[in-house]
Amino acid sequence: MSDDSFMREVEDELRSDKVSDFWKKYKYFVIGGAVAIVIGTAGYRFWDSYSQKVAGVSGDQFLSAIELSNEGKHDEAIAQLETLSKEGVGEYPALAQIRLAAEFAKKGETEKAIEAFDKIANDTGFNETLRNVARLRSGLLLVDTGTYDQVSDRLQSMSETGKSFRHSAREGLGLSAWKHEKYEDALVWFTAIADDQGSPNGIRARAGVMLQLLAGKGFTPEETQAS
């Protein structure tokens, strides 16, 4: 889905007065876009850092597991990733564990996925970038299933200016605040995205839509400051 088509659909949704269905309709697009950015960034960093150091066998096993996942063979992918997480070399055991958590999410085993991502995020033995990826994935999954406090516990520290994943973290926080009717908090997060010149176009466009929805409820930067 392109940004233009996304905006057209949202405008149609607003005109048909179905604002309450916004998150249900677009949650997978939002999370999918954030995940694509995260995985792309993390994948490049690890490939660049470790591709010359890690044995080819572990690399082949990891790629094979990804292929199995792409073919919808999630149980087979999980089995292969579990083996790699225990027997692989270099950074591949760590990468296998985070991919394993993602497989649980793909299978719809959300609680199990969140638990696995949290375990990685809290393990100081992991590379810091991987821990942040896991923390972000856990927080985004909880946008749909958890409380605002649970999302905030994972994403608040990642939302600060200069942090690599701040844009997706802010979006997750804003969506969770919106869902739980914490509109002033949602306004803070979506305004932060809109004001950040580094925000990706897709995230900025979605933040703009959410700011329109908040304005429709009487929440604007000017009104908030006045109160």
Beta-carbon count within 10 A of 151 CB: 27
Higher pLDDT, 6 or 136: 136
The reported pLDDT for the residue numbered 57 is: 81
Amino acid residing at 74: H
Global pTM?
A: 0.73
Summarize pLDDT for 154-205 with one digit per residue, the tens.
999 999 999 989 999 999 999 999 999 999 999 999 999 999 999 999 999 9
Amino acid residing at 154: R
* Cα 84 to Cα 74: distance, rounded to the nearest angstrom: 15
Q: Where are the domains of the chain?
A: 1-33+147-227
Are the CB atoms for 134 and 118 separated by under 8 Å? yes
Judged by DSSP in three states, 72 sits in coil
The reported pLDDT for the residue numbered 25 is: 55
* Cα 164 to Cα 167: distance, rounded to the nearest angstrom: 8
Nearest CA-CA partner of 32 in 191, 143, 188, 159: 143
pLDDT at 51 over 80: no
Angle 217-142-106 (CA atoms, 0-180°, nearest 5)?
A: 125
Confidence grade of residue 22 (pLDDT, cut at 50, 70, 90) = low
pLDDT at 135 over 90: yes
The share of the chain scoring above pLDDT 70, in percent, equals 73
Outline where 88-182 has alpha helix (H). Answer: 92-106, 110-121, 128-145, 148-155, 166-179
Mean pLDDT of the chain: 81
